[in-house]
């Protein structure tokens, strides 16, 4: 693999570690010769082969093809976003995350799941010390495969609505429209497809139900839109529903029953759901996947 004999044997529940160059095991690992992308790619390929189950020939070929797709795309993204993260290849905790991502994508072959896992893995390469963010990312990589594409979108809507919108300022209608177009509409259709999504998200450890309403996007938009209500509308919700009919279920606004709609919304269990740190991380990863934008995840964890 690296022009050296690197045959390995491992015990049960062990994951092998390899590196080119000198390694010193006096409490810390020090690598004197850096790993190339080709080296890391081979390490990750072998990681899967050594640790995954024996499958039939056809199933094994499909699994290995998927793993190669995942690793190739991950390393391409890593080159662009965090090339220093390549050093994580010899970190045992990160190798475990890589294997979990490989295992789950090998099973499903879902390209959306692959993109979510890659986004989470790249964030994980930035965490070189044990921290809360590192722990959250480890768990998020393990949990992501338990969710559907629609549930990824719902986590993103909740992440945007509960955590991100408070940082936005709407100076005019164009700002508000851009917010709706970029950060709400791409994910909105999933709310109608998934009827009991919140119970599964709670089961998966992505959310928890509180005794009071926490989904307050209605009031946040209302407060932030003061002074930019277009002529002919009593409030911003009348304008939004006229321009974006599909957004009405999210806002729970039906002109002119503003107060009644808010009261009704407060009684719904989903409006009382808050995201856990894992739900935030996965919702964030899906936001990056869809919009192509990058943020600082540590702002919310």
Determine what percent of the chain is predicted with pLDDT higher than 70. 71
- Summarize pLDDT for 80-102 with one digit per residue, the tens: 999 999 999 888 899 999 999 99
pLDDT of residue 143: 97
Instruction: Tell which wins on pLDDT, 102 or 219.
Output: 102
Q: How far, in whole angstroms, is CA 193 from its chain's centroid?
A: 20
- Give the three-state DSSP class for 273: strand
Residue 293 has pLDDT above 60, yes or no: yes
**Per-residue confidence band for 26, with pLDDT thresholds at 50, 70 and 90:** very low
Average pLDDT over every residue of 195-204: 84
pLDDT of residue 141: 98
What are the helix (H) ranges across 144-292?
A: 149-159, 173-183, 185-193, 197-203, 217-224, 236-243, 248-251, 258-266, 277-291
pTM check: above 0.85: no
- Summarize pLDDT for 235-288 with one digit per residue, the tens: 677 777 777 777 766 665 334 434 444 444 444 556 678 899 999 999 999 999
Helix axes 277-291, 149-159, angle to 10 degrees: 100
């Amino acid at each position: 693999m690296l022009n050296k004999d690197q045959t390995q044997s491992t015990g049960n529940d062990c994951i092998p570690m390899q590196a080119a160059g000198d390694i010193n095991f006096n409490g810390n690992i020090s690598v004197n010769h850096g790993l190339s992308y080709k080296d890391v790619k081979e390490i990750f390929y072998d990681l899967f082969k050594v640790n995954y189950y024996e499958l039939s020939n056809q199933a094994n070929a499909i699994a290995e093809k998927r793993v190669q797709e995942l690793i190739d795309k991950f390393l391409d993204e890593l080159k662009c976003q965090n090339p220093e993260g390549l050093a994580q290849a010899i970190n045992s905790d990160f190798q475990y995350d890589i294997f979990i991502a490989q295992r789950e994508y090998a099973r499903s072959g879902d390209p959306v799941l692959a993109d979510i896992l890659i986004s989470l893995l790249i964030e994980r390469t930035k965490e070189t010390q044990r921290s809360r963010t590192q722990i959250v990312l480890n768990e998020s990589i393990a949990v992501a495969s338990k969710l559907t594409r629609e549930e990824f979108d719902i986590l993103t809507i909740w992440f945007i609505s509960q955590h991100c919108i408070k940082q936005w300022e709407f100076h005019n209608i164009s700002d508000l429209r851009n917010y709706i177009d970029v950060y709400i509409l791409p994910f909105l259709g999933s709310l109608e497809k998934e009827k009991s999504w919140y119970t599964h998200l709670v089961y998966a450890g992505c959310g928890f139900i509180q005794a009071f309403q926490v989904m307050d996007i209605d009031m946040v938009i209302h407060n932030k839109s003061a002074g930019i209500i277009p002529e002919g509308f009593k409030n911003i919700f009348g304008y939004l529903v006229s321009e974006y009919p599909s957004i009405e279920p999210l806002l729970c606004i039906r002109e002119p029953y503003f107060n009644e709609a808010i009261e009704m919304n407060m009684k719904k269990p989903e409006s009382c759901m808050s995201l856990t740190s894992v739900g935030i991380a996965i919702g964030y990863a899906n936001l990056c996947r869809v919009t192509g934008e990058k943020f600082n995840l540590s702002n919310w964890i």
